Amino acid sequence: MIRFAKNSLAVIAVAVALSACSSSTATPETLPATVGLEVHAVSGLKFDKSAYEATAGDIEIGYVNEDTIRHTLVVVDGDTKVGSFDLQVNKRGATDFGSINLPAGNYVLLCTVPGHQSMKADLTVK
């Protein structure tokens, strides 16, 4: 009985490892359901959209890397980075997420990796 259980776990572990491996090349890791705003870094040093929208208050932002190199994500208000919010995704399929509290207003999303100035998008919070 114990041996059977161990074997079952091993089979499950292999299945999970295989599915995790295949998903990393095709679909990104899943983000928590609490994520209200999803931003993707795509090839060509850009985000998947040039403008995003969110609802004022605590905003859970998820970041997905569809590119092959490292990218970060910060929120800027005017010239000032907002709080300590700083997401980082190191390789294709990597995800990161975090919460930031924003009052209504117009913000900018940026990637802070040197040379990635083109990774810039508007964030309108209503």
Dihedral sign for Cα atoms in the order 26, 29, 33, 34: negative
Q: Does 121 bind Cu ion (CB under 5 A)?
A: no
Q: Does 40 bind Cu ion (CB under 5 A)?
A: no
Among 64, 71, 89, 94, binds Cu ion (CB under 5 A): 71
Say how many residues touch Cu ion, by CB under 5 A.
5
Dihedral sign for Cα atoms in the order 47, 52, 58, 62: negative
Cβ(89)–Cβ(97) under 8 Å? no
Q: Does 111 bind Cu ion (CB under 5 A)?
A: yes
Give me the half-sphere count of Cα atoms (radius 13 Å) on the Cβ side of residue 86: 5
Q: Which stretch binds Cu ion (CB under 5 A): 3-11, 54-62, 71-79, 87-95?
A: 71-79
- Is the CB of 48 or the CB of 58 nearer to Cu ion? 48
Q: Does 64 bind Cu ion (CB under 5 A)?
A: no
Q: Shortest approach of Cu ion to residue 47 CB, angstroms?
A: 9
Q: Shortest approach of Cu ion to residue 70 CB, angstroms?
A: 7
Query: CA–CA separation, 39 vs 25, rounded Å?
Result: 18
Query: CA–CA separation, 47 vs 63, rounded Å?
Result: 10
Contact positions vs Cu ion (CB under 5 A): 71, 111, 113, 116, 119
